């Protein structure tokens, strides 16, 4: 009898069986019966922020990084989230902190402690907050992209001006919607450059010019120059030869702090939670002689290649076979992020049928149970009742590309031009402190829907 009991206990431990808790007395329809106790709250999925850098945060007036509080760090990172939402997560004790990545992901449990809003951030500290902090209400009304003409009407001009996030004498920063080409083959096509040239000139004689591009299917921050001088600065900033074409020491220092961060939803999960991809790329022409494709360069030495480097970091756990990652390209190659995700990491971006068609054709989109990395608790993606809300999201039959340029940090071009002109007039000039601009763009509707779906905690 004892052997049977021991074997049963061993079997229960092997399969992870948990004995049922003692029943409780319940009353329904004036009838008393024994029932199961109520289940406790489900474990929350955690979103991991990057390690606290420990230097003055770009675009934020701060005397010292030692005085950055926890709530200031969250408000800085989630610049597009209302401050009251962040405060609510602190008051409910949902914000936690840890030190070091390797200890956080090697074991089943993540050693973390709750932090208060006024706690001082330490260099290298990682903050973890429930993904519900970034949940945003999604309007059922989707923006309609206007059909651009050579002379746009008032609605088209208003549409383009709503996309502008920042404007000064040197640059324009826009939040590009998906499925809108950046540059068309002819001026009257429906493209960002044609629409901007016709509707975003403001008080200038000419419209702004494109400096960096985004794919037609992707979305996010797009930079445009308003003058010839600012365009030359921006081209120098985003070229790989920016150090050789330097304007001044202050400019070189500002260039070192320039970066872009993308959020993407990928199928699968990278083997490492974060890392650096150093995989050169090359362009090839397919058999039809027209289609161009970017692939990883094989070390044969016979093909022309271009250096491509990308930093990546997982944002949270895997849900329904997909995971959110943050990408930071160090070089500017065509389709760099899409190829690195699909071929280098083996996790193509959701909606990228050009570089991830093989995986998409075998990808099961039905909700299934996944397990949270840190606690081992089960999660399941919820399927909303309103089918119209699923347009383009991860649950739709044909999802849109889930790649969004969320954050951009760059020098204040207008101030650098003004400083350069002052120095050219007076041979001396005061060396000003490094002036940095930072922009954060909210995700498009289909990615917001996918984020809200992935943040559910149903079993």
Does residue 209 fall inside a structural domain? Answer: yes
32: β partners: 27
Tell me which DSSP letter residue 342 carries: I
Q: What Rg do the C-alpha atoms of the chain give, in angstroms?
A: 26
Query: In Å, how far from its chain's centre is CA 390?
Result: 20
Q: Looking at the structure, do residues 160 and 87 belong to the same domain, yes or no? A: no
* Predicted confidence band of residue 104 (pLDDT cuts 50, 70, 90): very low
* Predicted confidence band of residue 270 (pLDDT cuts 50, 70, 90): very high
pTM for the full model? 0.81
Q: Looking at the structure, do residues 362 and 275 belong to the same domain, yes or no? A: yes
Q: Looking at the structure, do residues 108 and 192 belong to the same domain, yes or no? A: no
**Which of 165-169, 253-257, 317-321 holds the top average pLDDT?**
165-169
pLDDT (0 to 100) of residue 236? 81
Share of the chain above pLDDT 90, in %: 18
Pick from 435, 437, 438: which is nearest to 406 by CA? 438
Does residue 162 fall inside a structural domain? Answer: yes
pLDDT (0 to 100) of residue 345? 93
Q: Looking at the structure, do residues 270 and 390 belong to the same domain, yes or no? A: yes
Q: Looking at the structure, do residues 83 and 130 belong to the same domain, yes or no? A: yes
Q: Looking at the structure, do residues 100 and 215 belong to the same domain, yes or no? A: no
Q: Looking at the structure, do residues 267 and 226 belong to the same domain, yes or no? A: no
8 Å CB contact between 264 and 327: yes
| Residue with more model confidence, 388 or 69 | 69
Does residue 140 fall inside a structural domain? Answer: no
pLDDT mean over 238-247? 57
Active-site residue identified among 80, 143, 205, 215: 215
Q: Please report the DSSP string for 26-95 in residue order.
A: EEETTEEEEEPPPP-PPPPPEEEPPPP--SPPTTS--S-GGG-BHHHHHHHHTTTS-HHHHHHHHHTT--
Neighbours of 161 (CB within 10 A): 13
Residue at which a domain ends, from 74, 102, 134:
134
Report whether pLDDT(250) > 90: no
Does residue 189 fall inside a structural domain? Answer: yes
* Predicted confidence band of residue 33 (pLDDT cuts 50, 70, 90): confident
pLDDT mean over 367-385? 64
Query: In Å, how far from its chain's centre is CA 359?
Result: 22
Q: Looking at the structure, do residues 190 and 298 belong to the same domain, yes or no? A: no
Does residue 40 fall inside a structural domain? Answer: no
Enumerate residues 6+ apart whose C-beta is below 8 A from 155. Answer: 146
Range of the domain at 231: 154-259+411-430
Does residue 317 fall inside a structural domain? Answer: yes
Q: Convert the pLDDT of each residue in 155-208 to its tens digit.
A: 777 888 889 999 988 999 999 999 888 875 544 456 777 788 878 888 888 888
Q: What's the number of domains the chain is made of? A: 3
- Average pLDDT of the residues of the chain: 77
220: β partners: 176, 405
Q: Looking at the structure, do residues 190 and 235 belong to the same domain, yes or no? A: yes
Q: Please report the DSSP string for 121-180 in residue order.
A: P-TTEEEEEEGGGG-----SSPPPPP---SS--HHHHHHHHHHEEEE-SSEEEEEEPTT-
Q: Looking at the structure, do residues 171 and 281 belong to the same domain, yes or no? A: no
Does residue 437 fall inside a structural domain? Answer: no
pLDDT (0 to 100) of residue 310? 94
Q: Looking at the structure, do residues 272 and 163 belong to the same domain, yes or no? A: no
Q: Looking at the structure, do residues 276 and 241 belong to the same domain, yes or no? A: no
- Annotation marks residue 215 as catalytic: yes
At 236 the three-state DSSP class reads helix
Does residue 316 fall inside a structural domain? Answer: yes
């Amino acid at each position: 009898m004892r052997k049977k009991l021991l074997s049963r206990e061993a079997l229960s431990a092997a399969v992870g069986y948990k004995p049922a808790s003692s029943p409780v007395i319940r009353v329904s329809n004036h009838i008393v019966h024994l029932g199961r106790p109520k289940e406790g709250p489900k474990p929350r999925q955690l979103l991991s922020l990057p390690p606290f850098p420990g230097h003055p945060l770009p675009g934020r007036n701060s005397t010292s990084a030692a005085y950055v509080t926890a709530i200031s760090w969250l408000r800085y990172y989630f610049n597009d989230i209302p401050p009251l939402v962040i405060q609510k997560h602190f008051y409910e004790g949902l914000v936690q902190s840890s030190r070091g990545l390797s200890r956080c992901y090697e074991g089943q449990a993540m050693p973390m402690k709750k932090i208060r809003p006024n706690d001082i951030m330490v260099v290298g500290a990682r903050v973890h907050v429930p993904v519900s902090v970034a949940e945003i209400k999604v309007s059922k009304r989707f923006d309609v992209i206007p059909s651009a003409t050579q002379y746009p009407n008032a609605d088209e001009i208003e549409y383009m001006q709503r996309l502008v996030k920042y404007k000064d004498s040197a640059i324009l920063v826009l939040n590009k919607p998906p499925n809108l080409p950046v540059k068309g083959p002819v001026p009257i096509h429906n493209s960002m450059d044609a629409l901007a040239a016709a509707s975003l000139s403001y008080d200038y004689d000419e419209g702004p010019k494109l400096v960096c591009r985004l794919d037609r299917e992707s979305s996010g921050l797009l930079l445009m120059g308003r003058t010839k001088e600012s365009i030359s600065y921006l081209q120098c900033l985003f070229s790989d030869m920016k150090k050789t074409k330097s304007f001044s020491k202050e400019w070189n220092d500002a260039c070192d702090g320039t970066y872009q961060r993308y959020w993407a939803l990928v199928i699968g999960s990278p083997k490492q939670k974060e890392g650096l991809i150093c995989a050169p790329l090359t362009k090839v022409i397919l058999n039809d002689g027209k289609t161009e494709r970017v692939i990883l360069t094989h070390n044969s030495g016979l093909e022309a290649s271009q250096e491509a480097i990308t930093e990546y970091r997982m944002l949270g756990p895997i849900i329904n076979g997909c995971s959110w990652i943050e990408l930071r390209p160090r070089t500017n190659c065509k389709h760099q992020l899409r190829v690195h995700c699909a071929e280098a990491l083996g996790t193509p971006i959701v909606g990228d049928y050009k570089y991830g068609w093989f995986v998409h054709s075998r990808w099961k989109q039905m909700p299934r149970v996944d397990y949270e990395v840190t606690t081992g608790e089960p999660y399941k993606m919820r399927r909303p009742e309103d089918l119209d809300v699923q347009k383009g999201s991860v649950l739709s039959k044909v999802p849109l590309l889930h790649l969004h340029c969320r954050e951009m940090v760059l020098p204040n071009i207008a101030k650098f031009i003004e400083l350069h002109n002052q120095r050219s007039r007076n041979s001396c000039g005061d060396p000003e402190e490094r002036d940095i601009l930072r922009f954060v763009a909210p995700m498009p509707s289909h990615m917001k829907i996918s984020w809200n779906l992935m943040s559910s905690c149903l079993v």
